[in-house]
Structure 1
Amino acid sequence: MSAAMPAAPQRLALRGDLLDFTATPALDDPHSPVVRWRPDHWLLIEGERIAAVLPPEQAPGDDWQHIDHRGRLILPGFIDTHVHCPQLDVIASYGTSLLDWLDTYTFPAERRFADPAVAQVGAELFLDALAAHGTTSAVVFPTVHAASSEALLASAARRGMRLITGKVLMDCHAPDGLRDDVASARADCLAQIEHWHGQGRLAYALTVRFAPTSTPAQLAMAGELLRATPGAYMQTHVAENQDEVRWVAELFPEARSYLDVYHRFGLLNERAVLAHGIWLDAADRTVLHDTGAHIAHCPTSNLFLGSGLFDWRAAVACEFGVSMATDVGGGTSLSMQRTLAEAYKVQALRGQRLSAWAALHAATRGAAQALRLGDEIGGLNPGQFADLAVWDWAHGPVATHRDAVACGQVAPLPAQDLHARAFAWMMLSDERNLVQTWIAGCPQAAGAASAATMPAGCTHPVHFMASQQ
């Protein structure tokens, strides 16, 4: 059975300032040549995909619906590579470290998702919230309950959204109501793979919570299904917290490291997404390079839970992928801009500098490439899905003034370069700057400023969430 895709308007022409990337920028180069900046251009959308990009003097004809966003920023939709649907219930809960956080907040919230009705409401709220923050694709943790992943997959299918998820695997060291067993977990995974994997824009992920909550038998089962399912992903956590690392060493004394636990069970390949990766060593980084697995960097969560500072420069040196992730609810916001701002601070604490280009790339094209989806998402190229977001450059008096300075509108201060403007936007903006989010050519969420520019003829069962500015 194929997933239902939402209807899309036939021919749309958006006019605005287009920004994306043609290659990977260096971490600390504000003048990177791989930034593709096309101010005041037309972005043509036909059906679900981008049809063309045209300069302002080549306006499309009257057979295209024109939507004027001149003076606004048009970016590829953000790609959140590690986030927990049920943890909206516990975002911004008072502080504990990782393992206490799970027991105190996370596990009680996740137990509620055994109820299919709760799971359905939670999935709709969560995907609405992603779109309301300019995020158009995600790699998502549901809960151990099949109803939770089923609700996410069905809701994403209705939206035509690129989503990667699968029921969480936990058969030990977890409370009552949050444990499965190898046989039932295998049956649930196989049923959902058959029904959803590869349907529309959905992909299934073998979702190991983390090594301590799966027995060796369950890890082996997950590795078997990963090898047997072409195009399947694996998502989990690794080396987030030092107490967690010590616990894994006690549980798996035969493994060389935390990462090696997954490697031994065949869980590392080019579609493996491992969140955090703070406490890795050189041998671990070589394994990531050799297997094609990548790290989803979660700076707001790492800072909030006091887990540590990710070494991005070491990842670059070992040539494995790094994408950007909010990790809500340990992370403190679904806003990718707030997440990127914290990523800058993490690297600053390590004595390094992170350019706006490297940060934005990791949340768009870089994430798409790490997920092996670069042909589909992450850029503003003809043939890619029309997953994008339109942003105001500034919201509020402080950001508006700062943007005017960057544009040379405040005398006698000189005009700054594009990176200065983009960096200020990254540090000062959030979901309040959102004008419109598009997924597969259809609007999913709108800020108040976009009310007059909503296209006709694009209706499907999605709520239009607005930040009331």
Structure 2
Amino acid sequence: MSKTSSVQAYRAGLLYFHADPAFIERAHAWHEDGLLVVENGKVRTAGDYATLAPTLPPGTDVKDYRGKLIMPGFIDSHVHYPQTDMIASPAPGLLPWLEQYTFPTERQFADPAHGAQVAEFFLDELLRNGTTTAMVYCTVHPQSVDAFFSASEKRKLRMIAGKVMMDRHCPDFLCDTAERGAEETEALIQRWHGRSRLLYAITPRFAPTSTEAQLQLAGELARKYPDTFLQTHVSENKEECSWVKSLFPQARSYLDVYDRYGMLRPRAVYGHCIWLDESDRARMAETRAAAAICPTSNLFLGSGLFDFEQADKAGMLLSLATDVGAGTSFSMLQTMNEAYKVARLKGSYLPAMRMFYLATLGAARSLHLEESIGSFAAGREADFIVIDPQATPLLARRSANTDSLEEQLFALALLGDDRAIAATYSGGRLVHARAQG
């Protein structure tokens, strides 16, 4: 890089969004020969190469990615880093899967060294797949959070994470108390939230594994620290919903359990949301809580099919998520692949443009972070990826026969995976480059 300029520029096809394509006809910006200009880790400007190139300061290094696409980094709104080592574990359903694989795997995170090693691998996988921000579940162990945030801080990544709160219906070796869980959570908030590019998420695992006392304390923390995030699971499968009904008979619905404790608010993200009813969806839209849609996980566990049409009708905030380890891929492209099929099975249709929106600006809006990430508006953090339409022989052949940007994006979503990510940048720094075979 030239020492005569603090500005870097990247030439390629540029794609980013300013609205949801489901509701606005021209919701994206596309520059076939574009230039992304970065200064001090943030977007300075983005647009046509011919217009912007003459305005670059003398000595600006221009990285030439012509033939590829540059877009904002993917945002994964629901993923479990401790479950990395148990991805693709067979089980007949969610609850036996938790008992046979999840809980024993999470037990190992009492060891800080183990947590640190898994965190490093997990972050490598995210970046290799073009994911620059993730909303991450740790385990009940505070040291699992320290390990994850330490690894993220070292790499200067924008990450959100939290310690799982769980004080019943789980093995003794993972069981918190309501008070200890809240105390440890508050200490972690004070240690990590807002430090570097890190943000904290209050994380009750799901209603069945929390007593009313724990949910009460989680809600109190959410009110005390309104700029923190909150993440949990809701309405993933029918058996789970029945269990919640038996445990909380006074609640109108599974979602209402959380609502009673003040846990529906902006920056609250609910994984799955498959078996919501009309009132639930309206309540989520009203409170600006968001749904993290996890298609590979839902298909893997046979949980059900997310209803995009009803969610859009209600005006819910939506994003896509991998949900590793029930999810079967770290790739947001593979997640789009499955989301498209889920929508078709429910009788609706997801254009590729919408899927890429949901993995970028849509996710940023769901997290209420659209002023920081998710687009190339001036001043946004320069988290972006370089996608290669010729990454595999089949993808290259299909790309050569596309007639529109929508067709090209659809081919990437249906045929792409980690191999399609040529490079990943975080805060303007190259943090992953695909090995050249």
User: Which interval holds the TM-score relative to the shorter structure?
Assistant: over 0.9
Selected match of 1:253 from 226, 246, 249:
249
- Following TM superposition, by how much is the alpha carbon of 1:348 offset from its aligned partner in structure 2, in angstroms? 0.5
Selected match of 2:432 from 431, 439, 445:
445
Percent identity of equivalent pairs:
47
**CA distance in structure 1 between the aligned counterparts of 2:91 and 2:407, rounded to whole angstroms:** 34
- Following TM superposition, by how much is the alpha carbon of 1:231 offset from its aligned partner in structure 2, in angstroms? 0.5
- 1:167-178 matches, within 5 Å, as 167-178=163-174
Partner of 2:38: 45
**CA distance in structure 2 between the aligned counterparts of 1:291 and 1:19, rounded to whole angstroms:** 30
Partner of 1:465: none
**CA distance in structure 2 between the aligned counterparts of 1:56 and 1:232, rounded to whole angstroms:** 39
- Following TM superposition, by how much is the alpha carbon of 1:421 offset from its aligned partner in structure 2, in angstroms? 1.4
Partner of 2:408: 421
SS at match of 1:448: coil
- Following TM superposition, by how much is the alpha carbon of 1:379 offset from its aligned partner in structure 2, in angstroms? 0.7
- 1:309-388 matches, within 5 Å, as 309-388=305-384
**CA distance in structure 2 between the aligned counterparts of 1:234 and 1:61, rounded to whole angstroms:** 43
Structure 2 residue 220 is the aligned partner of structure 1 residue 227: no
Selected match of 2:48 from 45, 49, 55:
55
Count of residues in correspondence between the two structures: 430
Write out the 4+ residue segments of structure 1 that deviate beyond 6 Å after TM superposition.
none
SS at match of 2:43: strand
- Following TM superposition, by how much is the alpha carbon of 1:54 offset from its aligned partner in structure 2, in angstroms? 4.3
Partner of 2:116: 120
**CA distance in structure 1 between the aligned counterparts of 2:144 and 2:6, rounded to whole angstroms:** 34
**CA distance in structure 1 between the aligned counterparts of 2:276 and 2:76, rounded to whole angstroms:** 22
Partner of 1:410: none
**CA distance in structure 2 between the aligned counterparts of 1:54 and 1:234, rounded to whole angstroms:** 36
Partner of 2:133: 137
Which stretch shows the higher mean deviation, 374-383 or 293-302?
Answer: 374-383
SS at match of 1:223: helix
**CA distance in structure 1 between the aligned counterparts of 2:35 and 2:285, rounded to whole angstroms:** 39
- Following TM superposition, by how much is the alpha carbon of 1:284 offset from its aligned partner in structure 2, in angstroms? 0.7
- Following TM superposition, by how much is the alpha carbon of 1:11 offset from its aligned partner in structure 2, in angstroms? 2.1
Kept in 1, the 8 Å contact 2:389–2:420? The answer is yes
- Following TM superposition, by how much is the alpha carbon of 1:176 offset from its aligned partner in structure 2, in angstroms? 2.0
Structure 2 residue 189 is the aligned partner of structure 1 residue 202: no
Q: Deviations over 1:238-259 (max 9, x none)?
A: 0001000000001111111100
Kept in 2, the 8 Å contact 1:40–1:71? The answer is no
Structure 2 residue 300 is the aligned partner of structure 1 residue 304: yes
SS at match of 2:172: coil
Partner of 1:190: 186
Which letter does structure 2 place at the counterpart of 1:282?
E
**CA distance in structure 2 between the aligned counterparts of 1:163 and 1:68, rounded to whole angstroms:** 29
SS at match of 2:169: coil
- Following TM superposition, by how much is the alpha carbon of 1:55 offset from its aligned partner in structure 2, in angstroms? 2.4
Partner of 1:213: 209
Structure 2 residue 407 is the aligned partner of structure 1 residue 393: no
SS at match of 2:78: strand
SS at match of 1:15: strand
SS at match of 2:49: coil
- Following TM superposition, by how much is the alpha carbon of 1:63 offset from its aligned partner in structure 2, in angstroms? 2.3
Kept in 2, the 8 Å contact 1:20–1:35? The answer is yes
**CA distance in structure 2 between the aligned counterparts of 1:171 and 1:431, rounded to whole angstroms:** 37
**CA distance in structure 2 between the aligned counterparts of 1:54 and 1:349, rounded to whole angstroms:** 38
- Following TM superposition, by how much is the alpha carbon of 1:435 offset from its aligned partner in structure 2, in angstroms? 1.1
Kept in 1, the 8 Å contact 2:392–2:419? The answer is no
Which letter does structure 1 place at the counterpart of 2:29?
R
**CA distance in structure 1 between the aligned counterparts of 2:212 and 2:43, rounded to whole angstroms:** 45
**CA distance in structure 1 between the aligned counterparts of 2:12 and 2:417, rounded to whole angstroms:** 19
- Following TM superposition, by how much is the alpha carbon of 1:160 offset from its aligned partner in structure 2, in angstroms? 1.8
Q: Deviations over 1:90-149 (max 9, x none)?
A: 111123211111011111111101111101111111111111100000100010100001
Kept in 2, the 8 Å contact 1:394–1:425? The answer is no
**CA distance in structure 1 between the aligned counterparts of 2:351 and 2:381, rounded to whole angstroms:** 27
**CA distance in structure 1 between the aligned counterparts of 2:168 and 2:328, rounded to whole angstroms:** 28
**CA distance in structure 2 between the aligned counterparts of 1:163 and 1:61, rounded to whole angstroms:** 32
Q: Which structure 1 residue ranges, 5 or more long, are not aligned?
A: 1-8, 407-415, 450-468
Structure 2 residue 420 is the aligned partner of structure 1 residue 433: yes
Which letter does structure 1 place at the counterpart of 2:308?
W
Q: Deviations over 1:39-87 (max 9, x none)?
A: 1111111111011124222423442112110111101000000000011
Partner of 1:292: 288
Partner of 2:18: 22
- Following TM superposition, by how much is the alpha carbon of 1:433 offset from its aligned partner in structure 2, in angstroms? 1.2
